[in-house]
Structure 1
Amino acid sequence: MSRFITITLDSRGVSCRARLLEAEAPRTCAAVWEALPLTAPVFHGKYARNEIYTLLPRFGQDPGKENTTITPIPGDVCWFTFDGADLGNPAYGYEAQEDHRDAGQGGIIDLALFYGRNNLLINGDQGWVPGNVFAEIVEGLPQMAQACQDVWMGGARGKTLTLARADG
């Protein structure tokens, strides 16, 4: 039986529902599921294109690479693991109080939702950045995409993203 999560742009009151891809990414799904609920500042992708994401202190066991992509499609939800120096360039624009580079367990986890087409996971400092696709949005993508565009155009400062367990 499939397990589901909700992803919510809190201040905009918009949520979508995603099915965990447990057959394709079992380690990543387990790590996320055990850590839920999670709430942290939301950011909009600068390089990947149609992406919102949140940065969290490292939690659980790092799943390693599984079900990876560098070209996520609309509705993909991905996991990325970064070490402290990976996002250290000030061009990324993270403010000190929102920056998790020095998280207690070392490094950060980036959980990202892709809401539109033509995404390419390349970073000018790091090169290709494959992500683990661990969930797919099954309900609410059009409304979430509209809200994500508002984050892009209206700004993310002070806004949060919440991931939580959903009923089957």
Structure 2
Amino acid sequence: MARFITITLDLRRVSCTARLLDDAAPRTCDAVWGALPLTAPAFHGKYARNEVYGLLTELDAPEPGPENTTITPIPRDVCWFSFSGDDLSNPAYGYESESEHRAASRIVDLAIFYGRNNLLINGDQGYVPGNLFAEITDGYDEMVAACQDVWMGGARHETLTFARAE
């Protein structure tokens, strides 16, 4: 039986539903499902183009390891990325608290992709593959408009929440 999650940009009060890809990424799906609900500050991608993501520094979930990886996510894809604190502590990334990220032993980035021409690469690390674990099935057009507003209007005070769909 398929499992579904909701993904919400809380300040903008916009949600979409995504189906977990249990067959393709069972470890990642189980790690996310077991940790829900999750809320994190929202950011818009600088390098990947059409991406909105949340960074979780205290996630109580097992590390799934590489699984169903991609460096070219397409619209509707939902991905998991794992980083060490040192990976994201460069001030060039623009996060408010460099020390918060450096102190974290693991940072999990849960990201949604809402447009084409994404390439998961950055100047410091090269290719950054993510685990593709879900696909947005409902509420996509509204989420695209909200993600564009995060890009043009700013992410300040926005949060991204992942929860089990009822």
TM-score category of the 2 structures, normalised to the smaller one: over 0.9
Q: State how 1:72-151 maps to structure 2 within 5 Å.
A: 72-96=73-97, 99-103=100-104, 106-151=105-150
- State the Cα distance separating 1:52 from its structure 2 match: 0.2
What is the alpha-carbon distance in structure 2 between the residues aligned to residue 138 and residue 20 of structure 1?
10
| Amino acid in the other structure paired with 2:163 | A
Aligned 8 A contact 2:90 2:98 in 1: no
Match of 1:153 in 2: 152
What is the alpha-carbon distance in structure 2 between the residues aligned to residue 111 and residue 7 of structure 1?
10
CA pair 99-9 structure 1, distance change in 2 beyond 3 A: farther
What is the alpha-carbon distance in structure 2 between the residues aligned to residue 123 and residue 16 of structure 1?
28
What is the alpha-carbon distance in structure 2 between the residues aligned to residue 131 and residue 96 of structure 1?
24
SS at 1:144's partner residue? helix
Kindly, what percent of the aligned residue pairs are identical? 72
Match of 1:16 in 2: 16
Aligned 8 A contact 1:84 1:101 in 2: yes
What is the alpha-carbon distance in structure 2 between the residues aligned to residue 42 and residue 97 of structure 1?
16
With normalisation by structure 2, the TM-score equals 0.96
What is the alpha-carbon distance in structure 2 between the residues aligned to residue 84 and residue 98 of structure 1?
9
SS at 2:28's partner residue? helix
Aligned 8 A contact 2:88 2:101 in 1: no
What is the alpha-carbon distance in structure 1 between the residues aligned to residue 100 and residue 110 of structure 2?
15
Extract unaligned runs of 5+ from structure 2: none
| Amino acid in the other structure paired with 2:4 | F
What is the alpha-carbon distance in structure 1 between the residues aligned to residue 36 and residue 6 of structure 2?
10
- State the Cα distance separating 1:101 from its structure 2 match: 3.6
With normalisation by structure 1, the TM-score equals 0.95
Which stretch shows the higher mean deviation, 90-99 or 41-50? 90-99
- State the Cα distance separating 1:97 from its structure 2 match: 8.2
Match of 2:60 in 1: 59
CA pair 163-130 structure 1, distance change in 2 beyond 3 A: same
- State the Cα distance separating 1:137 from its structure 2 match: 0.2
Extract unaligned runs of 5+ from structure 1: none
Aligned 8 A contact 1:48 1:122 in 2: yes
What is the alpha-carbon distance in structure 2 between the residues aligned to residue 163 and residue 41 of structure 1?
12
Report how many aligned residue pairs link the two structures: 165
